[in-house]
């Protein structure tokens, strides 16, 4: 079953093209997981997250400063080179300036039928945020309706919410299996499930997840996980990197990534006002550092809780080079993990491509350092 | 080629500008001794908001302080290294690293220990701004309040945004009353807001006068003059000062008193300057190149407005637009609108907005070329800069980008910057003035 997830990731463009041919529907690209996909999906549109290609490029720097993060430059380069030429439109949900510039430059230089910039409040739990954002979502929904020339009914939204919540439920159930002393599923396999979920039609993905859950939960042969690790930080869709970690005598048992748990952790709780229900879900989801600017520091409570619940023994902090919000959070998180839970961490800075040998050496040193502490 | 030589003379208000700046930093330093209410407020934030707590309110603003530290390379190096020693990245905002380092070292640039405020307020126009004061409040162990300030790309004013900001400002006032135990006075807020509105409007009027040939002011001078519009825009002293500056600059225009004796070419500047290397403006004088200003100096807090007829200029005051200023909500609404209209803020929504602004500025201020500072660690002001560069080039406007850092000297090569400037001058056919 894991091959379905891998195939979607490897052949994401082929998958989207085939979906389009099969359904006659529109495909939209989006840059960040703050997009309330339920509304897009309810309009009969397939939302596809634009992720890194991890291939060297030299097109983006003609439009974006080279001190903007590698992800935003990698994404733009793919747009400019025509890799996403099947997209009917793009949506830029506001997360950070880097991604906003990718959206803006893409919109300017790549011909598209539709584009929409959706503001997402920075302080989701402020009392004023929800009424404001519900109004923004109402405008967004109207814009999609105008484009598709089809109303999005409450029934459409209910069905969409149901599909998305089912996806989240399966992913959480599979993640929970990792709490076991001998987890039946690896970190790389989990990342593949989440990343493919951001690329595939969720209804189809749910069928694969159901089967995967059955397969993993009944798995008899389970190996010693070695050192239990948490990975957290910037956007990271590089499953090869996780495979590398797990080939060195460790298992990634939990993450705090937007290509991992942050994407699906909480549900839309049904309400009469569907947009209000959707807004609540996104405004209260686990935050990334760009959406965690108050003194409350929601991340600093959520991350240690995850580490504790999944019994992580070490943490790898991944940061896209030049990603300011994560640069602000990484030193205090390192301190909290060590002081509160005695969890040492390793900080790794990612670029569009990364030096396998150098990272392997650093990872090996980190894992060796952890061994005596665990005896 | 005939070269015109203009009369030039120092500004009479120069000393006053220096005094305002120094007195401000000293007032921050002595706030505790003098029993004043010191609040940590980021300069982009709603500076006037705590004014309703009392006349003794003094804001300690991170960005002007970080810039001032940047102007002292030796102390700045100590500060950025102190921040980096805590594990923070070298490519983060240098204003933040200077401020934090000074705070971690407990050393204030103007002497003594690092001043500690009673509470902190910050907003989120860029990610660095949102995170900067979060740590300041934590380090100082003081209560903090974050505000969300949406940037929407539409050209039309969004009433939902105004309402959202007003709601947050109202909640922030209640929070400040709670954490300080003081009763909030709306009359004091109104006075501070009116000072802000009028002084930043006058600042825009002053900047408009630099459309004149010869330019009465140059960027190096403007850096000193614009400071009150950033750090003290809510104060009556600032309003009085800008009235004086306006009168003096009008007089310079009427009498053709120029910033530079020879004006061979006029340049527009983009971004924050390298504060430790303002000598680059002196270097440009060797070419008779007058730098007219930048959006950073004109519009960081200068108040501009797009008029209904398609032209633009200094913003009309809320009262002139028929806005009521009776209740707290009225005042907060006027404040929210004033911030929402700031061109610097709007430019951070989409690159094409700033490109349009730049093309209009180049035309209206009769600029011959543009130089852009790609400021490492400042994603806010680097936003769209490469697209802006392309837009200017496409319109045939000679433009260069030089890389550097506003407040971390380690990140800039002076020789490389001057080489770039030489290249721009060559592209424009301007030679150094020799023997004139």
Residues with Cβ within 8 Å of B124's Cβ and at least 6 positions away in sequence, in order, are A122, A123, A293, B130, B146, B147, B148, B149
List, for residues A225-252, the tens digit of each pLDDT value. Answer: 999 999 999 999 989 999 999 999 999 9
- Write the residue in B86, B150, B384 that is nearest to A331 by C-beta: B86
- Which among B223, B224, B339 is positioned nearest to B271, based on CA atoms? B223
Please give the Cα distance from A78 to A317 (Å, whole number).
Answer: 26
pLDDT at B155 (0 to 100):
59
* Per-residue pLDDT of chain A in tens (375 residues, 90 and over written 9): 678 999 999 999 999 999 999 999 999 999 999 999 999 999 999 999 999 998 899 899 999 999 999 999 999 999 999 999 999 999 999 999 999 999 999 999 999 999 999 999 999 989 999 999 999 999 999 999 999 999 999 999 999 999 999 999 999 999 999 999 999 999 999 999 999 999 999 999 999 999 999 999 999 888 899 999 999 999 999 899 999 999 999 999 999 999 999 999 999 999 999 999 999 999 999 999 999 999 999 999 999 999 999 999 999 999 999 999 999 999 999 999 999 999 999 999 998 888 888 899 999 999 999 987 665
- Interchain contact, B150 vs A127, CB within 8 Å: no
Spatial separation of the C-alpha atoms in residues B257 and B251, rounded to whole Å = 8
Q: What's the pLDDT score for residue B311?
A: 81
Interface list for B 141-170 with A (CB within 8 A): 143-148, 150-153, 160-161, 163-164, 167-168
Q: Which of B89, B160, B384 sits opposite A327 (nearest CB)?
A: B89
Q: Which residues pair with A229 in a beta bridge?
A: A252, A314
Query: What's the rounded Cα separation, in Å, for the pair B278 and B153?
Result: 33
In a domain, A210, yes or no: no
Residue B269 to residue B273: CA distance in whole angstroms? 9
A67 in any annotated domain = yes
Chain A residues inside the 8 Å CB shell of B350: 104, 117
Contacts of A297 in chain B (CB under 8 A): 134
- Cα–Cα distances (Å) from A313 to A186, A230, A262, A341, A342, in that order, read 16, 8, 20, 9, 8
- Do the bridges between strand A250-256 and strand A227-233 make them parallel or antiparallel, or are there none, so unpaired? parallel
Closest CA to B215 of B6, B2, B4: B6
Among the partner-chain residues A65, A128, A331, the one whose CB lies closest to the CB of B374 is A65
User: Which chain A residue has the Cα nearest residue B147?
Assistant: A123
Cα separation values, B286 from B210, B280, B417, Å: 20, 10, 15
Q: Which pLDDT value is given to residue A356?
A: 84
Q: Could you say which of A97, A128, A297 has the minimum Cβ distance to residue B171?
A: A128
Contact A331 B130 (CB under 8 A): no
| Beta-bridge partner residues of B402 | B373
**Would you call A65 an interface residue with chain B, using a CB distance cutoff of 8 Å?**
yes
* CB of B352 less than 8 A from some CB of A: yes
Those of residues 71-110 in A touching chain B at CB distance below 8 A are: 94, 96-98, 100-101, 104-105, 108
Q: Is A133 part of any domain?
A: yes
Measure the CA–CA gap between B34 and B15, rounded to whole angstroms.
Answer: 25
Give the gap in angstroms from C-alpha B390 to the nearest C-alpha of chain A.
Answer: 8
- Which residues form the domain of A108? 23-148
A375 touches chain B (CB under 8 A): no
From B96, which residue of chain A is nearest by alpha-carbon distance? A328
**Across the interface, which of A67, A97, A290 has its CB nearest the CB of B91?**
A67
Q: Do A121 and B150 touch (CB under 8 A)?
A: yes
Q: What is the CATH number of the domain that holds A107?
A: 3.40.50.11890
Confirm whether A105 is domain-assigned.
Answer: yes
- Count the domains in chain A: 1
What are the helix and strand counts (H, E) for chain A? 15, 8
Q: How far is CA B115 from the centre of its chain?
A: 22
CA–CA separation, B290 and A256 (whole Å): 52
Residue at A90 is within a domain: yes
Do A324 and B128 make contact, defined as CB atoms within 8 angstroms? Answer: yes
Collect the ranges in chain B with pLDDT lower than 50: none
Residues of chain A neighbouring B391 (CB-CB closer than 8 A): none
Burial class (CB in 10 A: 0-12, 13-18, 19+), A357: exposed
Q: Which of B134, B352, B376 sits opposite A108 (nearest CB)?
A: B352
Contact in structure between B210 and B351 (CB atoms under 8 Å): no
Q: How far are the Cα atoms of B10, B116, B347 from residue B5, in angstroms, in the given order?
A: 16, 51, 37
Interface test with A, best of B62, B82, B89, B382 (most A CBs within 10 A): B89
- Does A65 sit within 8 Å of B163, measured CB to CB? no
What CA–CA distance (Å, rounded) separates B222 from B343?
18
Q: At what angle do helices B159-180 and B328-340 cross, to 10 degrees?
A: 120
How is B341-389 classified by DSSP, letter by letter?
T-HHHHHTT-HHHHHHHHHHHHHHTT-SEEEEEEETT-HHHHTTHHHHH
Interface test with A, best of B93, B99, B139, B160 (most A CBs within 10 A): B160
Residues 124-183 (A) with a CB less than 8 A from some CB of B: 126-129, 131-132, 135-136
Q: Is residue A45 included in any domain, yes or no?
A: yes
Radius of gyration of chain B (CA): 21
- Return the H-helix or E-strand segment holding A37: helix A37-42
User: Comparing C-alpha atoms, which of B161, B162, B95, B147 is closest to residue B335?
Assistant: B162
- The CA angle A350-B405-A293, to the nearest 5 degrees, is 60
A67 and B376 within 8 Å at the Cβ level: the answer is yes
Nearest to B351 among A101, A123, A331 (CB): A101
Looking at the complex, report in whole angstroms how far the Cα of residue B59 sits from the nearest Cα belonging to chain A: 19
- Taken in order B219, B394, B368, B398, the sign of the CA dihedral is positive
């Amino acid at each position: 079953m894991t091959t379905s997830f891998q195939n979607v990731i490897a052949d994401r463009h082929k998958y989207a093209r085939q979906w389009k041919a099969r359904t006659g529907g529109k495909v939209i690209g989006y840059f960040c997981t703050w997009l309330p996909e339920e509304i897009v999906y309810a309009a009969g549109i397939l939302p596809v997250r634009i992720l890194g290609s991890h291939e060297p490029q030299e097109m983006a720097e003609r439009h974006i400063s080279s001190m903007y993060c590698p992800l935003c430059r990698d994404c733009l380069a793919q747009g400019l080179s025509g890799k996403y030429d099947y997209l009917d439109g793009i949506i830029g949900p506001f997360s950070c300036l880097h991604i906003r510039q990718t959206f803006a430059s893409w919109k300017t230089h790549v011909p598209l039928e539709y584009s929409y910039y959706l503001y997402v409040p920075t302080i989701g739990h402020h009392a004023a945020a929800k009424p404001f954002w519900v109004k923004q979502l109402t405008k967004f929904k109207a814009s999609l309706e105008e484009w598709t020339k089809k109303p999005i009914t409450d029934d459409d939204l209910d069905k969409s919410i149901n599909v998305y919540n089912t996806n989240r439920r399966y992913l959480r159930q599979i993640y929970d299996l990792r709490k076991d002393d001998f987890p039946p599923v690896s970190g790389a396999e989990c990342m593949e499930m989440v990343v493919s979920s951001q690329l595939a039609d969720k209804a189809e993905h749910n069928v694969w997840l159901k089967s995967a859950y059955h397969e993993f939960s009944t798995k008899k042969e389970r190996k010693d996980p070695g050192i239990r690790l948490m990975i957290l930080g910037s956007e990271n869709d590089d499953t090869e990197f996780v495979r590398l970690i797990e080939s060195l005598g460790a298992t990634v048992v939990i993450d705090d990534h937007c290509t991992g748990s942050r994407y699906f952790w909480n549900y839309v709780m049904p309400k009469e006002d569907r947009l209000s229900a959707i807004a609540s879900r996104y405004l209260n989801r686990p935050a990334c550092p760009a959406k965690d600017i108050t003194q409350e520091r929601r991340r600093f409570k959520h991350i240690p809780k995850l580490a504790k619940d999944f019994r992580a023994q070490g943490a790898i902090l991944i940061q896209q080079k030049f990603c300011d919000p994560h640069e602000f959070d990484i030193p205090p998180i390192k301190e909290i993990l060590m002081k509160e839970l005695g969890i040492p961490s390793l900080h790794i800075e990612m670029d569009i491509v990364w030096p396998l040998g150098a990272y392997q050496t650093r990872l090996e040193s980190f894992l060796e350092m952890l061994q005596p502490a665990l005896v | 080629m005939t070269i015109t030589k203009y009369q030039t003379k120092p500004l009479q208000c120069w000393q006053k500008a220096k005094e305002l700046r120094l007195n401000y930093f000293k007032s921050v330093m002595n706030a505790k001794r003098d029993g004043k209410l010191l609040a940590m407020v980021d300069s982009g934030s709603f500076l006037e908001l705590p004014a309703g707590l009392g006349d003794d309110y003094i804001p300690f603003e991170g960005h002007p302080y970080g810039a001032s530290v940047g102007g002292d390379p030796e102390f700045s190096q100590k500060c950025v290294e102190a921040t980096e020693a805590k594990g923070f990245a070298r490519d983060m905002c240098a204003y933040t690293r200077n401020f934090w380092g000074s705070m971690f070292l407990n050393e204030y640039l103007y002497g003594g220990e690092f001043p500690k405020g009673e509470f902190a307020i910050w907003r989120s126009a860029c990610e660095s701004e949102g995170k900067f004061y979060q740590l300041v409040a934590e380090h100082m162990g003081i209560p903090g309040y974050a505000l969300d300030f949406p940037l929407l790309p539409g050209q039309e004013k969004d009433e939902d945004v105004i309402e959202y900001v007003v709601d947050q400002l109202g909640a922030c006032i209640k929070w400040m009353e709670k954490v300080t135990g003081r009763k909030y006075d709306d009359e004091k807020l109104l006075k501070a807001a009116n000072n802000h509105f009028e002084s930043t409007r006058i600042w825009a009027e002053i900047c408009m006068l630099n459309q004149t040939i010869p330019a009465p002011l140059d960027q190096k001078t403007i850096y000193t003059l614009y400071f009150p519009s950033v750090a003290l825009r809510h104060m009556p002293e600032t309003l009085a000062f800008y009235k004086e500056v306006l009168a003096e600059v009008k007089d310079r225009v009427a009498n053709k008193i120029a910033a530079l004796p020879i004006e061979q070419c006029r340049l527009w500047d983009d971004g924050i300057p390298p504060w430790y290397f303002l000598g680059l403006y002196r270097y440009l004088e060797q070419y008779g190149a007058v730098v007219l200003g930048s959006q950073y100096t004109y519009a960081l807090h200068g108040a501009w407005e797009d008029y209904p007829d398609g032209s633009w200029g200094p913003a009309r005051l809320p009262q002139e637009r028929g806005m009521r200023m009776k209740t707290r909500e009225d005042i907060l609404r006027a404040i929210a609108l004033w911030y929402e209209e700031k061109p610097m803020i709007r430019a951070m929504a989409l690159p094409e907005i700033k490109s349009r602004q730049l093309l209009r500025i180049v035309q209206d201020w009769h600029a011959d070329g543009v130089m852009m500072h790609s400021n490492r660690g400042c994603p806010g002001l680097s936003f769209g800069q490469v697209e802006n560069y392309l837009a200017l080039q496409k319109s045939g406007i000679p433009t260069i980008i030089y890389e550097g850092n506003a407040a971390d000297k380690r990140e800039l090569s002076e020789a490389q910057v001057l080489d770039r400037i030489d290249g721009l001058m060559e592209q424009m056919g301007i030679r150094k003035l020799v023997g004139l």
